Amino acid sequence: MSHTLGARQAQKQKTRQAFLDAALALLEEQSLSSLGLREVTRAVGVAPTAFYRHFRSIPDLGVALVDEALGSLHPMVRETVSTTGDSEERISRAVELIAHYVAAHPSHVRFIARERHGGVQPVREAIGGQLARFADEVRVTLAQDPGAAGWSDDDVLMLARLYVDQMLISASLFLEALERPADERDRVARLATRQLRLITIGRDHWLD
């Protein structure tokens, strides 16, 4: 088992994290395809060549950022969508999860929204892969719900994708509302709630 790392490895991970943090901060106001290697090392306070000790390239760093941003979110999503509670309760759980995550990690959310369709292929693919995982996790959870009786597998996945996409749209709206008066955030929360509610109503009558 991996016990406590030597002082050597510990320092390396610390520097690596500094790279990720600095890059994320710089990406608040530009996109990954314009982020320079020297720009990042300058922000960290190390020599340009130190970069290569941690990442092969800027796209490589971007992929690491995708994991940092979305990797820890899977258990939270599974728990939030789980079948405990009625649908209205699950909707408000979901909206609150998004609101809190955006408030706690705004620059990660911005990064994902920006690079999902951004100019760097490996990063687009990493994000696409993570979102597909989310959709599949939601699909599995939905399939366990008694309301999914009589649904085709394909339709359950269709619904799961709809939910996931809706989450992302709401996250992006919360992000825009972050640097604005608090009542703006409430409006976004109410909008997101009603949209999820409408989708859920459509789900309830899908088999009519």
Partner DNA sequence: AATTCCAGAGAACAGTTGTTAACTGGATGA
Partner DNA sequence: TCATCCAGTTAACAACTGTTCTCTGGAATT
Q: By C-alpha distance, which of 73, 52, 72 is closest to 61?
A: 52
Long-range contacts of 129-136 (CB under 8 A, 24+ apart): 130/66, 130/70, 130/71, 131/164, 131/168, 133/74, 134/70, 134/73, 134/74, 134/77, 134/164, 135/160, 135/161, 135/164, 136/160
Report if residue 199 touches a second copy, rule: CB under 8 A.
yes
Report if residue 15 touches a second copy, rule: CB under 8 A.
no
The identity of residue 87, as a single letter, is S
Comparing CB distances to a second copy, the nearer of 48 and 202 is 202
Residue 13 C-beta: closest distance to DNA, Å = 9
Residue 194 binds which entry of DNA, a second copy, none, CB below 5-8 Å type-dependent: a second copy
Q: Which two tokens stand for residue 162?
A: 């709809």
Residue entry with tokens 């709401």: 170
Report if residue 158 touches a second copy, rule: CB under 8 A.
yes
- Contact residues toward DNA (CB under 7 A) are 6-9, 11-12, 15, 36-39, 42, 45-50, 52-54, 57-58
Sign of the alpha-carbon torsion through 194, 199, 204, 205: positive
Comparing CB distances to a second copy, the nearer of 53 and 81 is 81
Residue 46 binds which entry of DNA, a second copy, none, CB below 5-8 Å type-dependent: DNA
Contact 139, 157 (CB under 8 A): yes
Report if residue 29 touches a second copy, rule: CB under 8 A.
yes
Residue 137 binds which entry of a second copy, DNA, none, CB below 5-8 Å type-dependent: none
Comparing CB distances to DNA, the nearer of 45 and 71 is 45
